[in-house]
Amino acid sequence: MSSKSIPYMLIAPGFILLIVFLVLPLVSIIWPTFFDGNLTFASYIAFFQDSYNVSIFMRTLRISLIVTFFCALLGVPVAYYIARADKKFRSLMMALVLFPLLTNSVVRSFAWINILGQKGVINNLLMNTGIIDSPIPMLYSEFAITIGSIYLFLPLMVITLVGIIENIDTEIMEAAETLGANRLTAFLKVILPLSVPGIIVGSILVFTGTLTAYTTPQLLGGNKNMMLSTFLYQNAMTLGNWTNASVIALIMIVTTLIIMKIFNLIASVIDKRGEEQHA
């Protein structure tokens, strides 16, 4: 055995497992949506011709992008604070960030039901203080799904960014301040651009997680605010329509790939502008 073949031998078991347990099952599910004797796209055309299906698709895309935006907006300063904290406190803060991930998503969703419900913590507080006279309908709405998803996936964004920001030399920030920039300007002009790779990776994780999450949309959104994941489950397990379920699954996969490509293009544009400014 030559030394050149060793790397291929090492990756062969993992590659075979991916083919057998990921690619082949996926192909077996999606294949019938394209072939009924002849090549056809009728199932996908029918999906997007139905206004109800389109509304679910747009709701899923909208909520996923909103959750990704707010996770990035909230995650960057938190990650920067943790990355620049003393080492003895950094571990504690990382543990606090990771703690929600150790709790089952069903339990976390039920906690938000107690918070956002008509007799929940927020409505009881507002009514007891006289701010409102009747409960505000917050549960079983897009708002509830968005809040629950941000709470669910924000730790992923923070964890991803902490590793990136820790590797940014603190002397760069000091140099920017020496040249006359205040801390906020230095953060926006120096730290934030250098954190773009982490933001892109974290955004992809958050977007993909929100797009495919089932428990949070089901418990906090209900059937009136269905997303693609709950719609897929309904078609497969309740209606027994596996063809439609396979169509939805492929649409989710393609949507994720397109958004990932867009995020990567944004990162490339930012990097290019940064190189031009340095030049």
Tens digit of each residue's pLDDT (9 = 90 or more) over 242-263: 889 999 999 999 999 999 898 8
Q: Which residues is 35 bridged to in the sheet?
A: 39
pLDDT at residue 129 above 90? Answer: no
Q: Residue 103: which residues within 8 A CB-CB, separation 6 or more? A: none
DSSP one-letter code for 225: G
- How far apart, in whole angstroms, are the C-alpha atoms of residue 62 and residue 211? 10
Buried b (16+ CB within 10 A) or exposed e, 35-66: eeeeeeeebeeebeeeeebeebbebbbebbbb
Average pLDDT over residues 71-85: 90
pLDDT of residue 278: 54
- How far apart, in whole angstroms, are the C-alpha atoms of residue 186 and residue 180? 9
Residue 238 burial class via C-beta count within 10 angstroms: exposed 0-12, middle 13-18, buried 19 and up: exposed
What is 49-277's CATH number, 1.10.3720.10, 1.10.1060.10, 2.40.70.10, 3.40.50.2300? 1.10.3720.10
pLDDT tens digits along 133-171 = 888 888 899 999 999 999 999 999 999 999 888 888 777
> What is the residue type of 59?
R
Q: What percent of the chain has pLDDT over 90?
A: 39
pLDDT at residue 279 above 60? Answer: no
- The residue length of the chain stands at 279
- How far apart, in whole angstroms, are the C-alpha atoms of residue 248 and residue 246? 5
Confidence of residue 39 (pLDDT cuts 50, 70, 90): confident
Query: Could you give the 3-state DSSP secondary structure of residue 39?
Result: strand
If one counts every other C-beta atom within 10 angstroms of the C-beta of residue 278, the result is: 6
N-to-C CA span, the chain: 49
Nearest Cα neighbor of 176 from 165, 166, 187 is 187
Average pLDDT over residues 103-130: 88
pTM: 0.88
Q: Which residues is 39 bridged to in the sheet?
A: 35
pLDDT at residue 1 above 60? Answer: no
Q: Which of 65-74, 97-106, 133-142 has the highest mean pLDDT?
A: 65-74
Q: What are the boundaries of each domain within the chain? A: 49-277
Its sign, for the CA torsion 175, 176, 182, 184, is negative
